[in-house]
């Protein structure tokens, strides 16, 4: 037996975490990514992200156009080994630690809702749909939202898109407990996506 065994190449992370799509949230995203295992999570940093403030009614069209243009570029960074795209954002909520998980796949939301019970913070699941007016009874068990980004991104074939909005108590990049909570939520989403993938392939 050879003493010089060649090590197999390190597996590439299957999860791509996008940070800084909204420029004011990049510093928060960096702190969250620093809490994650780089073997499992790769980061896509948007160094010149958009302003994330909610648009006034007359800014709505240009807000959408700018989001479409930026988000379409993300697809260029998706490699065949990526199974999950996590689009990480931050928002403000003075009541404390909480987060939204947004996805078009109900099975993933079901898993997140079930496992989030044990987390140290509230988690709200949001179902992404193309047309909120087309929802017929029975209504989905989750809140619904129509994304301001291209459907090719939020409902891609061959991989899963999940938006996470982690809420911070104050403006800025947050505090350690908030970074850790967001990182835990990212890991939980990745665990749920992995368990779905394992079932889909019969593993
Ligand atoms: Zn944002």
In whole angstroms, give the CA distance from residue 128 to residue 179.
25
pTM above 0.85, yes or no: yes
Contact 130, 190 (CB under 8 A): no
| Pairing assessment for the beta strands 84-92 and 98-103 based on DSSP bridges | unpaired
How far is ligand 1, taken at its centre, from the CA of residue 163, in Å? 9
Tens-digit pLDDT profile for residues 48-65: 999 888 889 999 899 999
Tell me, what's the pLDDT at 12?
86
Domain 15-200 has CATH 3.40.630: yes
Distance 2 CA to ligand 1 centre (A): 53
Q: Is the pLDDT of residue 38 over 50?
A: yes
Instruction: Please report the pLDDT score of residue 89 as a whole number.
Output: 97
Question: Is residue 101 within 8 Å of 33, Cβ to Cβ?
Answer: no
pLDDT-wise least confident of 75-79, 101-105, 129-133: 129-133
Would you kindly state where each structural domain of the chain is located, as residue ranges? 15-200
54 CA to centre of ligand 1 in angstroms: 10
Distance 179 CA to ligand 1 centre (A): 15
Please say whether the dihedral angle defined by the alpha carbons of residues 19, 26, 112 and 116, taken in this order, is positive or negative: positive
Q: What does the pLDDT read at residue 35?
A: 98
pLDDT at residue number 2: 58
| The pLDDT value given to residue 53 | 83
In terms of Cα–Cα distance, which of 35, 39, 75, 40 is closest to 194? 40
pLDDT of residue 44: 97
Report how far ligand 1's centroid is from the alpha carbon of 49 (Å): 9
Contact 178, 169 (CB under 8 A): yes
The number of angstroms, rounded, from the C-alpha of 47 to the middle of its chain's C-alpha atoms is 18
Residues with CB under 5 A from ligand 1 (ion): 22, 25, 52, 89
Tell me how far CA of residue 65 lies from CA of 11, 46, 50, 149, in angstroms. Answer: 36, 17, 11, 9
β-strands 160-168, 98-103 pairing: antiparallel
pLDDT at 131: 85
Q: Which of 57, 59, 87 is nearest to 150 (CA)?
A: 87
CA-CA distance, 2 to 67, in Å (whole number)?
54
Q: The tokens of 191 are what?
A: 């665990």
β partners of residue 128: 145
Q: Residue 29: its pLDDT value, please?
A: 98
Q: How far is the CA of 7 from the centre of ligand 1 (A)?
A: 40
Ligand 1 centre and the CA of 129: distance in Å?
19
- Report how far ligand 1's centroid is from the alpha carbon of 147 (Å): 12
């Amino acid at each position: 037996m050879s003493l010089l065994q060649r090590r197999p190449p390190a597996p590439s992370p299957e999860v791509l975490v996008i940070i800084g799509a909204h420029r004011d949230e990049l510093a928060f995203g960096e702190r969250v990514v620093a809490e994650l295992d780089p073997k499992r999570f790769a980061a896509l940093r948007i160094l010149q992200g958009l302003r994330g403030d909610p648009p006034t009614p007359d800014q709505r069209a240009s807000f959408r156009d700018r989001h479409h243009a930026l988000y379409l570029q993300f697809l260029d960074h998706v490699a065949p080994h990526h199974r999950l795209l996590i689009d990480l954002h931050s928002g403000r909520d003075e009541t404390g630690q909480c987060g939204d998980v947004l996805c078009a796949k109900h099975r993933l939301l079901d898993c997140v809702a079930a496992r989030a019970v044990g987390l140290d913070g509230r988690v709200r699941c949001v179902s992404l749909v193309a047309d909120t007016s087309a929802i017929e009874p029975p209504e989905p068990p989750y809140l619904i939202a129509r994304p301001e980004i291209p459907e090719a991104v939020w409902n891609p074939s061959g991989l899963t898109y999940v938006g996470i909005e982690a809420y911070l108590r104050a403006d800025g990049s947050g505090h350690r407990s908030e970074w850790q909570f967001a990182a835990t939520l990212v890991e939980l989403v990745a665990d749920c996506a992995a368990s779905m993938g394992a079932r889909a392939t019969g593993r």
